[in-house]
Amino acid sequence: MLRQPRYRVAATVFAMLLVAVLVTGSLPQTSRAQSMTTLTFLGPDFDEWVAFVKVANEIGKPMGIQIKPEYLPWDNVFQKALIDYKSGVKTWDYVYVYNTWIPGLAAAKAVIPIDDLMTTPAAKKAVAPEDFISLTTVGLQFQNKLWAMPMLAAPYMMGYRTDLFADPTEKKAFQAKYGYPLAVPQTYKQLMDVAQFFTRKAGATLMGKPLDQDFYGVVMANKSGGFLFHRYEHILVAFGGDLIYDPKTMQPTVNSPQSIAAAKYYVALHKYMEPGSESLTGGGAERIMASGRGAIAMDALDNMLSVLPVAKLSKIVGKVSYTLLPTQVASRPHANVGDANGLAIYALTQHKAEAFKLATAVLNTQGTKQVMKEYPALIPMRSSVIKDPEVRTNYPNVFNAMSSFINGKPYTTFIPPLKEWVQAQDIYEQALSAAMSGQQSVEDALSGAQAKVVDFFKRQGYVK
């Protein structure tokens, strides 16, 4: 018998070891895989969804279900869900949805309506639709169906620095300059005055102390891709404008007088915002506010609550209160556009029953409270959660802000049911960005956008 060369022996031993490791390593995984169903979640890399996944894995464990997330930038999720569905990709079970995406996803049939899954009394009980705060969940409906399990409302509000508004020096100076007392803005005229008043360069004084950095009247996120339009749309509605078109006639109204007035206002207000706001998302803008460099933040309530009261992130803990957006047109008091986030079940899921079971278990009253423990800024969409004494006690910011929102009875509208909404919004947003950067005047930018939307609507067959 010929003797094997040493390197062959070594290679054989190494290969056997490798096989042994792989076999022993894979055995428990196989057995785990046999007992656990893995659901995949396509969503944004936001704290609340990280919290959701964590809680879902805890709740799902005894049910034999686990979630594997795939996090993408927020504005890419919609695009990926649509294209993946159209391409027949069966990877996903859950898709995060934002209310403006619902018409597009629903029209493409990329997600399954929750109503279609409530086929038994037990299933209906698990969803408990009567418990939803309809003011917040309307945005997740399309053609009389609910397309996602409501997870998080994000009403747009103002967070303002209570210490600044109470400071006697600032009050005196404001009164002297504008002829009326300094107060939390109730109108957009007052907001502009306040924003202008508090915008100061480093070296100037604020509350009697010199500033070591520039200070901004209003802090907002203006990144293109949706963030800019989602801040601006409230002002557009407050000024009496349509959301891009008149749903009754389908005629685009991008350059209507109301729209032009709103855009001019926003461009003027932009002068008092933090520089670089064009590249900031909500989280980034709130970091600026939290660093003590802004007087007022206008943002989704949960964005503000996830940063401003958090000691390790914020220098202004205990110095911020939340109130409704200002009013411009009297018939639309504190106008705002509803904002809702939910969990949809992907149309090509291979685990429809398990996905529904886990979604209803995590987003019921107890599950939502569990998610709130991980993400205390969560604005629940179930009245049972808001009314829960434990929530009232443990999350006073959420409770107080939501109470003021609900009791203030703001004029709330939702984006119209247009499947091409995201595209139409992109056209308007680009025009607004052009006006803000000085590339074009407001009138030219919006007239150009109007022509584009008309052309777009013609191609879709909405107008002739």
Partner 1 sequence: MGMKWAVLGSGRFYFWLMTVPAVLYVVVWRLAPAVYTLWLGLHTYNIVYDNAPRWNHLANFVQIARDGALRQSLGLSAKFGLIATAAEVLIGLAAAMFFDTDPPGRNLLLGVFLLPMIMAPVVVGTAWGTLFDRTVGYIPYVLHLLHVPQPDWMATPGTAMFALLVADAWEWTPLVTLLLFASLQAIPREHFEAARVDGASGWQLFRRIILPQVTGMVLVAAGLRLMDAFLELDKVFVMTGGGPGSSTQFVSMFVYKQAFQFYELGYASAVITVLLAVLGAAYWLYLRSYYRALGAANL
The length of the chain is 464
Candidate residues 414, 452, 453, 457; the one interacting with partner 1 per rule CB under 8 A: 452
**Cα gap 306→376, rounded to integer Å:** 7
**Six-digit token string for 166:** 């109470």
* Sequence-distant (≥ 6) Cβ neighbours of residue 419 within 8 angstroms: 103, 104, 106, 107, 108
At its nearest, how many Å lie between partner 1 and the CB of residue 278? 4
**Segment (H or E) for 161:** strand 156-161
For residues 100 to 119, the per-residue mask of contacts with partner 1, x marking binding by CB under 8 A and - elsewhere, is: ----x--xx-----------
Cβ pair 260, 443 in contact under 8 A: yes
143 binds partner 1 (CB under 8 A): no
8 Å CB contact between 231 and 158 = no
Count of alpha carbons within 13 angstroms of residue 254, beta-carbon side: 27
Q: How many residues bind partner 1 (CB under 8 A)?
A: 36
Q: Measured from the CB atom, is 86 or 409 closer to partner 1? A: 86
Residue 351 makes contact with partner 1 by CB under 8 A = no
Smaller CB distance to partner 1: residue 274 or 339? Answer: 274
Verify binding: residue 430, partner 1, rule CB under 8 A.
yes
Is there binding between residue 298 and partner 1 (CB under 8 A)? no
State yes or no: residue 279 binds partner 1 (CB under 8 A): yes
SS3 of residue 158 by DSSP: strand
C-alpha to C-alpha distance for 264 and 23, rounded to whole angstroms: 67
Q: Nearer to partner 1 by C-beta: 398 or 427?
A: 427
Nearest Cα to 75, choosing from 239, 293, 224, 270? 224
**Using CB under 8 A, which of 115, 131, 167, 278 touches partner 1?**
278
Of 51, 236, 435, 446, the one binding partner 1 (CB under 8 A) is 435
Q: Please, what is the minimum distance in Å from the beta carbon of residue 314 to partner 1?
A: 16
397 binds partner 1 (CB under 8 A): no
Among 25, 179, 275, 389, binds partner 1 (CB under 8 A): 275
Interacting span for partner 1 (CB under 8 A) from 190-198, 250-258, 402-410, 425-433:
425-433
Among 431, 442, 446, 453, binds partner 1 (CB under 8 A): 431
Distance CA 422, CA 82 (A): 12
CB of 307 to partner 1, least distance (A): 14
The answer to whether 280 contacts partner 1 (rule: CB under 8 A) is yes
Is residue 224 near partner 1 by the rule CB under 8 A?
yes
Q: Say how far apart CA 407 and CA 401 lie, in whole Å.
A: 10
- The answer to whether 446 touches 260, Cβ cutoff 8 Å, is yes
Least gap, CB of 257 to partner 1 (angstroms):
22
Dihedral (Cα; 212, 213, 219, 220), 10-degree rounding = -160
d(CA 398, CA 376): 8
Region from 35-43, 308-316, 333-341, 432-440 binding partner 1, contact rule CB under 8 A? 432-440
Shortest CB 438 distance to partner 1, Å = 7
Should residue 225 be labelled a site residue for partner 1 when binding is judged by CB under 8 A?
Answer: yes
Which range, of 149-157, 192-200, 247-255, 428-436, touches partner 1 by CB under 8 A? 428-436
Contact call for residues 18 and 40 (beta carbons, < 8 A)? no
With beta carbons less than 8 A apart as the criterion, state whether 403 and 327 touch: no
Straight-line distance from the first to the last Cα atom of the chain, in angstroms, rounded to the nearest whole number: 90
Mask 67-96, x = binds partner 1 (CB under 8 A)? ------------x--xx--x----------
Is residue 204 near partner 1 by the rule CB under 8 A? no
Contact call for residue 426 and partner 1 (CB under 8 A):
yes
Minimum CB separation of residue 436 from partner 1 in Å reads 7
For the CB of residue 200, give the shortest distance to partner 1 in the complex, in Å.
17
366 belongs to the binding site for partner 1 (CB under 8 A):
no
Question: Token pair 């401003």 is at which residue?
Answer: 308
C-alpha angle 337-394-365 in degrees, rounded to nearest 5: 65
Q: Quick one: 295 or 445, whose CB is closer to partner 1?
A: 445
Coil, strand, or helix at residue 458?
helix
Contact 399, 386 (CB under 8 A): yes
> In whole angstroms, how close is the CB of 76 to partner 1 at the nearest point?
10
Tokens of 445: 């930018």
CB atoms within 10 A of CB 454: 16
The CA dihedral of 304, 308, 309, 314, to the nearest 10 degrees, is 160
Nearer Cβ to partner 1 (175/437): 437
Point out which residues bind partner 1 (CB under 8 A). 79, 82-83, 86, 104, 107-108, 224-225, 275-280, 284, 288, 419, 422-423, 426, 430-431, 433-440, 445, 448, 452, 456, 459
